[in-house]
Amino acid sequence: MPSRREFIQTVPAIGAAFAVSSQFLDEPAMAQTTTPADGHFHPKGKAPSEHTLRILREAKAKLPFGDRRDFEEFDKGFIAPMKPLKIMADAGHAAWDLERYQFFNEQDDFDSIHPSLTRQSQLNMNYGLYKVTDDIYQVRGLDLAQMTFVRGRTGWILFDVLVSRETARAAWKLFQEHVGEGLPATAIIYSHSHVDHWGGVRGVVDEADVRSGDIEIIAPRDFMEHTISENVYAGNAMNRRLFYQYGILLPASPYGHAGQGLGMNVSAGEPGLIPPTRIIEDDIEYLTVDGVSMVFQNTPNTEAPSEMNTYLPEMNALWMAENISANLHNIYTLRGAPVRDSLRWSKYINEALYLFGLEAEVMFTAHHWPRWGNKRVQEIMRGQRDLYANMTNQTLHYANQGVTINEIHNVYEMPKGLQEQWHARGYHGSPEHNSRGVIQRFLGFWDCNPTTLIPLPERESAAVFVEMMGGARRILAKARDLHDRGEYLMATEILNKLVHAEPANGDAKDLLADCFEQIGYQQENPGLRNSFLGGAYELRSGIPGGQAAKTTGPDIIRAMSTELFLNFLGIRMDSRQAEGMEFTINLITPDNGEKFVVELSNATLTNIQGYLADDPDLTLTINRKDLEQTMMGAKTLEAQIADGTCEVEGDVSVLERLAAMMVDFDPRFEVLPGTKMRTMEVAEADPYEAQPGAPVAE
């Protein structure tokens, strides 16, 4: 009998693997999360300096605030508000809370928020039901994304269904109260593989109706593979990075979290997943859905690895999914993900323009507000096309002249014509981190300087730098001078060395936090703002303790392939403990006909599907549906062996040895020196303040 550290020890493993949270994504839906405690955060932050105020004044003076078309489009078609500003989760906490952001409705200017970001967040405060055109409606503002309803012959076709069951259910109820006429949902279209577009499905349909064929769920090619796999292998690291990109520890305030660009935040309810019943396989595919003619355009490896646009020719209406939004999107996302192909992205927008955009009279998307009139549709489509093409072309133009990944963000600048278009501003991606992402995609991380090819650990090299600079006292004096002159980035260069060399130096950490804070206030991009303010928080307060989030529900586990799960076990295993150890396991799941050889050799765990070893040390035979119970943590493998659900043949002690080498990842690992997780009582709090979450959005 194996020990209770059974073969598949998954609750923390899978939770870490699917780290997602809110956003972003980034990075949803956790009631139990890491949260800041009272007294450990400066509620109002430190005041913006005269240098920060000057930068924000200059930004306001040079940006085209006279262009009010977005506000006109934002208001157009309004039918009814969503009256409760809070939507409660089934678990008892707030799944959605717009009360936290009401300061954006109370004033127009803030001395600690970039005026452009203020404008975007005010536009994202739409909260209710809107008419797009005859037979097309949207509920906006109830989640990071929005839900769209298209009238079919017998009911409603839903495009994207938010993150959480609770917010999707509230959106569907609001829609039915004013427009829906009691007609059912007849089809759901998942535009792409990020959780904010499918996680709320169980709030609007019953899976039994899907299985019976009454409701069709349509998704792009490779949807299920990418929905799960994108967030598994480095999921715990992504989760930790979400703390920064999405400001997980920051309270909503003018000095903290001030919106997320794509929307105000991500809901914290319960995500679910019902697999698609129809996959759009062809590059261009024609389909009639509940009497509505649709033309689907697959756009893989753009904003998501699996994504598609949809044209409704009888309505002259174009759905651009998340390939177009009212901002520059991420090419490189700060939470971590494969760098997106911005040139391909541009070309798919161009293809959509010439296939559909030359005649479309309205364009609607998964985030933000629609665009009406063919002239306006073409203007936005051409601008977004040029945005991603220019970033690729000009970044590589400079790279081919020797500009490196560590210099490009100071060299690349968007054309002035794009800078003056609000939809091209960096509210999700930024020109700074996206241009570096382009070089990473084409050339990798190395800047071609041999000095940086095999760098020393920063904590080791930092000590030499500190010594050569004359020690902590001289560094602090110079850093204070730089801080007082508003040269915050330069100050962080030397303070970062000192903090790495002396993690217990409170004066160094405090001054670095002060610099981070001012840099954060100055950012137009929410991810950059949140990252600097989040760094300041951790330097001052440490990483909060408390219970790590358990984020992966049954739907996600069921959708995870056995191979993917076994691959992740190889990542969890500490190879240092496996030196000199060898064994082979046959795994057979009769109900789905799968078989695997799992082999440990050379301190490496591998697996191969479709084969069985001739002379294994152990053979496990268990139905996949029963294995899922262990994967979800609902029933141990030991219990399944004991009751005969799992049949074993051979040396069961192999399971104990394997389990002993597994590491449970914690998403609260230290990023900045001297900020290790503190032991403290964590207050029951709004889960938005820290949600290391489910599958990563955006």
Residue 640 lies in a domain: yes
Domain count, the chain: 1
- The answer to whether residue 643 is domain-embedded is yes
Nearest to 297 by CA among 338, 247, 357, 253: 357
User: Does the pLDDT of residue 9 top 60, yes or no?
Assistant: no
What are 419-470's pLDDT values in tens digits?
999 999 999 999 999 999 999 999 999 999 999 999 999 989 999 999 999 9
**Mean pLDDT, residues 193-214:** 96
The pLDDT-based confidence of 546 (bands split at 50, 70, 90) is low
Query: pLDDT at position 226, please?
Result: 93
CA 685 to chain CA mean position, Å: 22
In a domain, 317, yes or no: no
Scanning the structure block, which residue is given the tokens 């989030």? 549
Minimum mean pLDDT among 58-72, 524-538, 643-657, 666-680: which range?
A: 666-680
pLDDT confidence tier of residue 306, bands split at 50, 70 and 90:
very high
Give the ranges where 400-505 is alpha helix by DSSP (H): 416-419, 431-443, 458-468, 472-484, 488-501
DSSP label at 675?
-
Angle between helices 526-541 and 431-443 (to 10 degrees): 100
Better pLDDT: 24 or 88: 88
Give mean pLDDT, residues 650-658.
94
Mean pLDDT, residues 194-223: 97
Which residues, other chains included, contact 421 with Cβ-Cβ below 8 Å and sequence gap of 6+?
A: 383
pLDDT at 235 (0 to 100): 87
The per-residue pLDDT for 692 is: 32
Rounded Cα distance, 658 and 583, in Å: 10
> Is 560 within the bounds of a domain?
yes
* pLDDT tens track for 33-80: 333 333 334 455 799 999 999 999 999 999 999 999 999 999 999 999
Q: What is the end-to-end Cα distance of the chain in Å, rounded?
A: 44
635 within 8 A of 651, measured Cβ to Cβ = no
Q: Which tens digits make up the pLDDT trace of 308-322?
A: 999 999 999 999 999
CA-to-CA distance for 374 and 412, rounded, in angstroms? 32
| 642 lies in some domain | yes
Q: Which residue is it, tokens 């109830």?
A: 142
Which of the four pLDDT bands, split at 50, 70 and 90, describes residue 660? very high
Percent of the chain at pLDDT exceeding 70: 90
Which domain CATH number covers 577? 3.30.1050.10
Q: Could you read off the pLDDT of 582-617 as tens digits, one per residue?
A: 999 999 999 999 999 999 999 999 999 999 999 999
The answer to the question of residue 46 being in a domain is no
Query: CA distances (Å), 174 to each of 46, 98, 127, 157, in order?
Result: 41, 16, 11, 16
Which one is predicted more confidently, 218 or 698? 218
Residue 309 included in any domain: no
Judged against a pLDDT cut of 50, whether residue 107 lies above it is answered with yes
How far is the C-alpha of 462 from the C-alpha of 320, rounded, in Å?
A: 48
- In the numeric block, which tokens belong to residue 693? 């979450």
pLDDT of 147 over the 80 cut = yes
pLDDT surpassing 70 at residue 12 = no
Which pLDDT score is estimated for 558? Answer: 87
Determine, yes or no, domain membership for 639: yes
Residue numbers of the domain that contains 651: 550-660
Assess whether pLDDT exceeds 70 at residue 106: yes
